[in-house]
Amino acid sequence: MTTIAQESRSLQIAGSELSFLDRGEGSAVLLGHSFLWDAEMWRPQVDALSRRYRVVVPELWGHGASGALPAGTRDLRDIARHHLSLMDRLGIERFAVVGLSVGGMWGAELALMAPDRVSALILLDSFVGPEPEVTRHRYFEMLRMIEAAQTVPEPILDAVVPLFFASDVEARRPDLPRGLRARLRGWRGDRLVDSVAPLGRIVFGRRDMMGEIGALRMPRLVMCGRDDVARPISEAMEMAEALGCACLAIPRAGHISSLEAPEVVTREIADFLDGLPG
């Protein structure tokens, strides 16, 4: 099976090589993946949506085949600008944004930054409010330990991997947590230090957008795995209320709902996009 990485190409954005998939024709859809994952996280949705949409899937800095976090990158607004620059380079004026986890965080920043260019916004397993203080401190300490070791230590793997999945994933899809553990264990030390840890601090030290997103007027939708531990459904409901849109709970799915419940997630995204005007 051809991997998304084999189909991807890259462009220099903000002085670094940004890897991305660009497949299909028609109205454009920009997919943003989770921290510590890559474009393969969206494979089921790419395979389905690219039959009738132009699907663009960039990979976060230091993730997949993308280069190092560009110098001077301070926050998620900068990350949003990088993705807007990518769409400029591809000649895409208007596009829907579908973001999971940090993909939804920078996706919301992009929608606030360029509302005339974002035709729709779907946020999955994400939260655009501030990181709760307890988890922010915990994640910052993990990032410090990763930098010091220049690897992801086993105790951190034990703590982090379960955050991405529903509690019964081992019985249903054991390949998912095992695959994630193997990828995290094999991450190059230089990429952890120059990109992954600094990007993590940007993600978990993000600003509070909750007071601003109510101004967004493009079609909006919030989705969340019913069993998401990292971003609980209570956060999704709070965000949907602020956005003034529906909140869909995805049964039998944790944080990476795109892979744990691919048929449901694909169907809901496709139905939403197919229902957009024009």
Q: How many CA atoms lie within 13 A of 223 on its CB side?
A: 25
- Averaged pLDDT for residues 53-64: 98
For the chain, percent of residues with pLDDT exceeding 90: 97
Number of domains in the chain: 1
Give the tokens for residue 246.
Answer: 């529906």
Q: Is pLDDT of 253 > 90?
A: yes
Q: Is pLDDT of 61 > 80?
A: yes
Give the model confidence (pLDDT) of 203-213 as tens digits.
999 999 999 99
| Burial degree of 229 (CB within 10 A; 0-12, 13-18, 19+) | middle
Lowest-pLDDT range of 5-14, 131-140, 173-182, 261-270 = 5-14
181 in a structural domain:
no
- Averaged pLDDT for residues 48-52: 97
158 in a structural domain:
no
β-bridge pairing 9-13 and 16-23:
antiparallel
In a 3-state reduction of DSSP, which class is residue 252? coil
Give the model confidence (pLDDT) of 87-126 as tens digits.
999 999 999 999 999 999 999 999 999 999 999 999 999 9
Q: Is pLDDT of 265 > 90?
A: yes
142 in a structural domain:
no
Q: Is pLDDT of 18 > 70?
A: yes
Q: Is pLDDT of 67 > 80?
A: yes
Contact indicator for 30, 83 with CB cutoff of 8 Å: yes
Contact indicator for 40, 88 with CB cutoff of 8 Å: no
Q: Is pLDDT of 134 > 90?
A: yes
Q: What is the DSSP string of 23-55?
A: E--SSEEEEE--TT--GGGGHHHHHHHTTTSEE
Confidence (pLDDT) at 1: 63
Give the model confidence (pLDDT) of 148-202 as tens digits.
999 999 999 999 999 999 999 999 999 999 999 999 999 999 999 999 999 999 9
Q: Is pLDDT of 269 > 70?
A: yes
185 in a structural domain:
no
β-bridge pairing 118-124 and 54-58:
unpaired
192 in a structural domain:
no
User: Following CA atoms 8, 117, 195, 125 in sequence, which dihedral angle do they give, to the nearest 10 degrees?
Assistant: -90
Q: How far apart (Å, rounded) are the C-alpha atoms in residues 86 and 66?
A: 13
Q: Is pLDDT of 3 > 80?
A: no
Per-chain mean pLDDT for the chain: 97
194 in a structural domain:
no
Confidence (pLDDT) at 6: 81
171 in a structural domain:
no
Closest by alpha carbon to 98, among 63, 57, 60? 57
Q: What is the CATH number of the domain that holds 216?
A: 3.40.50.1820
163 in a structural domain:
no
In a 3-state reduction of DSSP, which class is residue 80? helix
Confidence (pLDDT) at 4: 80
Closest by alpha carbon to 113, among 90, 89, 82? 82
User: At 143, is the pLDDT very low, low, confident or very high (cuts 50, 70, 90)?
Assistant: very high
Domain range for 45: 4-130+208-274
